[in-house]
Amino acid sequence: MPRYILFHKPYGVLSQFTDREGRPTLAQYIPVPDVYPAGRLDMDSEGLLLLTDDPRVLHRVTDPRWKVPKTYLVQVEGIPSEEALQRLREGIMLKGRRTAPAEVELLPVPPPVPPRPVRQYHPTPWLRIVLREGRKRQVRRMTAAVGHPTLRLIRVAIGPLVLGDLSPGEWRDLSSAEYRALFQALHLDPDEPPPLRRRRRAQRRRRPSRR
């Protein structure tokens, strides 16, 4: 049977299982063979990763054509104006291509997330940003483009799956309800068996991280 795993990736960990430079990787946390992350987080980003050995899920979560929403809590430098927030919502030009429309709101109070020191600026508010695409370091590049560099980034949801009370470094298998909610969001039949798996160990080689 395929495995579907939720993992709270800590800050400073690569979203891959090997690294030639000896940096921390998923292998130090997840002792499950042949699962791979459905999408990535930068080494300096934190939060929810979905790992699986089901190729259908890997494809649909990462392919922007399926528009699976990913939700981020983003601590930025300085308080964005309504104009800056609207620019983020409507899309930012990055390398000649506009980002897709996003959901963006300024949170009235800081979210209840595990503390981690960031550079000392005042003020450092939090945004909630929902994207339906996954360009390289997209959130950081978007906030920088409107004059509010990202200081801390935490992914808290992938479609219907939420980070919840997982602590940094913890992982667990999806519940039956989460499994069905994920398959519904991906327009897959939860009762249909997955295709025969091929071993994909080559994917555990070092790859560029994202966001």
Catalytic residues: 42
Q: Which long-range contacts (CB under 8 A, 24 or more apart) does 203-207 make?
A: 203/36, 204/16, 204/17, 204/18, 204/36, 205/16, 205/18, 206/16, 206/18, 206/19, 206/20, 207/16, 207/40
Instruction: Tell me the C-alpha to C-alpha distance, in Å, between residue 129 and each of 70, 72, 103, 167.
Output: 8, 5, 6, 21
Q: SS3 of 171, please?
A: strand
Q: SS3 of 170, please?
A: coil
Closest by CA to 76, choosing from 124, 115, 29, 28, is 124
Closest by CA to 210, choosing from 38, 75, 20, is 38
> Which residue, chain included where needed, has tokens 């799956």?
161
Q: Are 190 and 183 in contact (CB under 8 A)?
A: yes
Closest by CA to 41, choosing from 20, 81, 12, is 12
